[in-house]
Amino acid sequence: MILKKNVMSQYLDNYQQQCDKVLALFEEDLASVKTGRAKPSLIEHIKVQAYGGSWMEVRELASISAPDAQTIEIKPWDKSVLKDLEKGIGAAEGHFNPIVQGELIRISIPALTEETRKDIVKLVYQKAESHKQMLRNERNEIKKGIESSKNQAGVSEDDVKRDLEELQKMTDETNRKIEEMTKAKEEELMKL
């Protein structure tokens, strides 16, 4: 009987790990959304080809700072990758315009118009929905596993019911966190 309960609690443990992964992925996704403010997180995950073809993230090649609300500065640790950084950042989907100034690369972040802000808020909500869908898919898999344990010796219907209720609580809590993160990003975007 103890073995069966451990198997069932393993389903919930696995699901909690998946919930944490979805939240971390969503947080990373939100960090890459332009808000009209210069933030190192806008470019730190951009991959550039350096050192003869190796793909590396900007944060692995340089220090990144935002000296003011409209400027990002990238200072490579190895000056030989300066042109690689400029080329990679310029080609990235963020449509950045890197400018080399001596040993630094500067990127100006233009202020967003209200219409652009609204479009970005829509994008944030689409990202939130996509992460909620990932969560639903995980929940459905775990639910099937819990329900299939109903036929195992030592597992009562009450055990299954309790675990399904706990599964729903975990799902609701994770969805609540996604919604909070979405609202916070919306507020950040709509501030002038």
Exposure letters 141-155 (e unless 16+ CB within 10 A, then b) = ebbebbeebeeeeeb
Q: What is the pLDDT of residue 3?
A: 43
Residues 6+ apart with CB under 8 A from 185: 30, 33, 35, 121, 124
Mean pLDDT by 10 residues, the chain (192 residues): 55 92 92 78 85 87 89 91 88 82 88 84 94 95 87 81 92 96 90 66
Q: What domains are there in the chain, each with its CATH number?
A: 2-32+113-190 (1.10.132.20), 40-108 (3.30.1360.40)
The alpha carbon of residue 43 and the mean position of all alpha carbons in its chain are separated, in whole angstroms, by 14
Q: What is the pLDDT of residue 151?
A: 77
Residue type, 107: I
